Amino acid sequence: MALALLALLCSFPVWADCAECAVVARRFVVNEGFNGVVLVGHGATIDYVESFGVADAQTGRALTVDTPFETGSISKWIAAVVVMRLVQQGQLALDQPISNYLPDYRRDNGARLTLRTLMSHASGVPNEIDDAIKRDPATRTLSLDNSEAVQRFASGNLRFEPGADWDYSHSNWLLVKAIVERTTGRDYASLVEGYLVQPLALHHSGVFSGSSLGVAGMAHGYRRLAPDAEPLDKPSPDFMMLAGGFYASANDLFVLMDGLFAGRLLSPESVRILMAIERPPQHYALGGRTKTLPFAGKDHPVAWEYGSNGAYRVLAWRTLDDGHTVILMNNTSFDHMKIGELGTALMEASYR
């Protein structure tokens, strides 16, 4: 299988100004059977990008560097970028009680919760949506408006005083979606299109609900490829769009990260707030993490994003001091620890 994946290299052009990156990635493909896309760059420049394997095992359609993947929890970071744009425009405030935006929400919680505590998972809102999915997987196929989704899955008694602890709760993002859409009078998909996709000319990015296989060219998800391909598709309902409904190609995600940190989406102050650590033990900021990692003998602050849903695994790292970037995308339920090892090796190679 690994040799068959590597044979696909001859089918597509490869951009490789980082020769060592290519060596690291290709060795990993042969040794570990990685099926996906690898990209390494710095600033606005892609130094190496290559695809390995299949997007659709049934038809034999190969992956390309423009194949879209579900990005899992990277969607939360994308949602936080949209929220910060609205904060920058004066439509939202991070530290106002959310009852200002959702007057019909239960008053006791609404008076204590803020967008900041929701987006940093420090709200205490119990993760009722995940609990519901575990009890009944058909919850993934529900179609609910924001009001009903919030009532059913984001209105429980708080587990702790907001700001006092940390709990990774997808239910937070049901509330953020309700706030964003009620305040702007626009659906979230149009905000992503208007604030991110169009300004950056992204070609293979957006949001989805239901099965992502409805997205043109989407990489199909698999529990495994060998000995027989076993599909894995986990639909995401509309009301969870901010928690896990963003998709992108590797090229688009690189453009998006560079656009953000080059100042094409937010002001420097808004980017600073977005990336400032709110919960130090978890390295958690707003919708994503900022970590300090050692590369090339020096500690670097890193925008550290990782997402998974079903078979999809996406890692995106960018050093905040000098813009070195690694993006990895996989659609075959690959071991996330090994993806991290590959990301580290590629980041090191990017400095040589």
How many structural domains is the chain composed of? 2
> So what's the pLDDT on residue 17?
86
**Same domain for 220 and 111?**
no
Provide the residue range defining the domain that includes 104.
Answer: 76-81+92-184
Q: Is 171 helix (H, G, I), strand (E, B) or coil?
A: helix
Question: What stretch of H or E contains 303?
Answer: strand 298-309
Residue percentage of the chain with pLDDT more than 90: 95
Other beta carbons within 10 angstroms of residue 66's beta carbon come to 15
Q: Alpha helix locations (H) across the chain? A: 2-7, 19-32, 74-88, 107-110, 115-119, 128-135, 146-153, 171-184, 188-192, 198-200, 241-244, 250-261, 268-275, 336-350
**Same domain for 342 and 194?**
yes
Q: What is the CATH classification number for the domain harbouring 266?
A: 3.40.710.10
The Cα–Cα gap between 212 and 320 comes to 31
Q: Is 233 helix (H, G, I), strand (E, B) or coil?
A: coil
Residue 59 lies in a domain: no
The last residue of a domain, from among 126, 151, 184: 184
Which of residues 11 and 161 earns the better pLDDT score? 161
> So what's the pLDDT on residue 7?
42
> So what's the pLDDT on residue 15?
59
**Same domain for 138 and 161?**
yes
pLDDT band at 190 (very low <50, low <70, confident <90, very high): very high
Average pLDDT, the chain: 95
Residue 141 lies in a domain: yes
The last residue of a domain, from among 151, 184, 217: 184
pLDDT band at 4 (very low <50, low <70, confident <90, very high): very low
- Each residue's pLDDT tens digit, 304-344: 999 999 999 999 999 999 999 999 999 999 999 999 999 99
Residue 298 has pLDDT above 60, yes or no: yes
